[in-house]
Amino acid sequence: MTNQAKGLIYTLITVLMWGVLAIALKIAVKEIDSPTIVWFRFSLAFSGMALWAAFKEPKALKILYKPSLILVISTLMLAWNYIGFMLGVQYTSPGNAQIAVQTGQVVLAIFGIVFFKERMTIRQGIGFLLTLLGFWIFYQQHVTSSSIDNSQYTKGILLTVSGALTWAVYAAMQKKLIQEHPVTTLNIFIFGLPVLLYLPFANFSSLVHLSLGYWLLLIFLGANTLISYVCLSLALKYMEAGKVSVLLIMNPIITFAIMGLLTWLQVSWIAPEHFSVLSVLGALVALGGAMLVVWKKSKVSPERAD
């Protein structure tokens, strides 16, 4: 199997995990408060990563004692990304949050131009404009036609965008950190510190009376975190970052498709999500613009098989 094929498989797994994530969060928040959900996700992901490292790579655990300042800041950014997206899903809907959070990919591209001196192409400039236009159309359509309270909707969008911005900072810092530490080492600390940060805000009493179904949902959310980030790291190992980014932007389509199916089935355990023609058009324009921004032509090089 070629490296491109491996990278594609790992990327698609990440896309699938993130595509269903917002829906699972929306269901979970009906019974469990947001900080507790975020704490549990980080706890399960950290436990899995730490156990693996303890048996396979014990030296990786040393990062817990002597982290660099940039690693701490990077982790704080990701910690806010999780709660920002979680609250965005809570106050709006899975589809809305998925569109808003894609701004992180565009901001990361801006960071590349400003801080890493990457050249901005005409294609990227057009992409920026299309992203802004599409997002404005999408937002305006939902403000005027959504059944959600306008102030609540705006609050949810702003929280999601704030999470997207901090994710972009996290990702930019990872460019430097990945040159100094193995992926396993970084993930152990990145998953571990938020466990302590969110511990004071976790409401454990809400977990006592959960049904088996909600416990399985919580376990899935934690596993989703671990699987998606491990697969993302492997995808970046085998395939160009630009191609991975473009594929990741497609995850809202999975969310839309599943929510559309659930709305059509008229299930009672999640609120239906309705999109007007203009809001769908706005979403597609925003996603298309984001793809133009993050896509980078890669140099042709011979592939190697591992």
Determine the pLDDT at residue 189: 93
- Are the C-beta atoms of residues 229 and 187 closer than 8 Å to each other? yes
Determine the pLDDT at residue 214: 94
Determine the pLDDT at residue 241: 67
First to last CA, the chain: 8
Distance CA 4, CA 278 (A): 36
Determine the pLDDT at residue 305: 35
Determine the pLDDT at residue 306: 40
Contacts of 166 (CB under 8 A, 6+ apart): 77, 78, 80, 81, 84
State the Cα angle at 248 between 143 and 213, rounded to 5°.
75
b/e code 115-139 from CB counts within 10 Å (16+ = b) = eeeeeeeeebeebbebbeebbebbb
- Are the C-beta atoms of residues 96 and 142 closer than 8 Å to each other? yes
With tokens 């990945």, the residue in question is 178
- Are the C-beta atoms of residues 27 and 221 closer than 8 Å to each other? no
b/e code 200-209 from CB counts within 10 Å (16+ = b) = eebeeeeeee
With tokens 């990062």, the residue in question is 63
The DSSP output letter for 63 is G
- Are the C-beta atoms of residues 106 and 161 closer than 8 Å to each other? no
Distance CA 166, CA 289 (A): 21
Residue spans per domain, the chain: 3-294
Distance CA 105, CA 286 (A): 12
Determine the pLDDT at residue 70: 93
Distance CA 48, CA 301 (A): 36
Distance CA 285, CA 195 (A): 37
Structure token pair of residue 147 = 């059944």
Residues in the chain with pLDDT values less than 70? 116, 118, 142-149, 241-242, 296-306
Residue by residue, DSSP assigns 182-248 as -HHHHHHHHHHHHHHHHGGG--THHHHT--HHHHHHHHHHHHHHHHHHHHHHHHHHHS-HHHHHHHH
Structure token pair of residue 198 = 């969110």
- Are the C-beta atoms of residues 261 and 33 closer than 8 Å to each other? no
Q: Which of 264, 287, 291 is nearest to 275 (CA)?
A: 264
Q: What is the pTM of this model?
A: 0.85
